[in-house]
């Protein structure tokens, strides 16, 4: 029987987000790594919360590659 991976809630500070387009690009970048991820973007707080089974480094790289590097 295959073991099911546990999801984790990750939070990233992304200072360069400022609009709905930014939120859409960030969400798309995360979903490219984990299509089942739950993504919450807080533009005012410049944070992205991701519930995912993927590694933190993989999500951080996807954000950086999309032009939204986490700080």
Closest CA to 53 of 70, 28, 35: 35
The total number of structural domains in the chain stands at: 1
| In-domain check, residue 71 | no
Is 2 inside any structural domain? Answer: no
Cα separation, 7 vs 18, in Å, equals 28
Tell me, what CATH number does 20's domain have?
3.30.70.100
**Residue 58 within any structural domain of the chain:** yes
Report yes or no on 57 lying in a domain: yes
58 three-state secondary structure: helix
19 is a domain residue: yes
45 is in which domain, residue-wise?
A: 8-65
Q: Do the domain assignments include residue 26?
A: yes
pLDDT digits (tens, 9 = 90+) for 11-69: 999 999 999 999 999 999 999 999 999 999 999 999 999 999 999 999 999 999 999 99
Q: Residue 4: pLDDT band by 50, 70, 90 thresholds?
A: low
Closest-CA residue to 25 (of 60, 66, 70, 69): 66
């Amino acid at each position: 029987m295959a073991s099911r991976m546990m999801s984790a809630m990750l939070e990233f500070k992304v200072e360069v987000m400022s609009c709905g387009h930014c939120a859409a690009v960030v969400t798309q970048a995360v979903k490219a790594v984990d299509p089942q991820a739950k993504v919450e973007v807080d533009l005012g707080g410049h944070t992205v919360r991701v519930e995912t089974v993927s590694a933190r480094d993989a999500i951080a790289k996807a954000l950086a590659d999309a032009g939204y590097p986490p700080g």
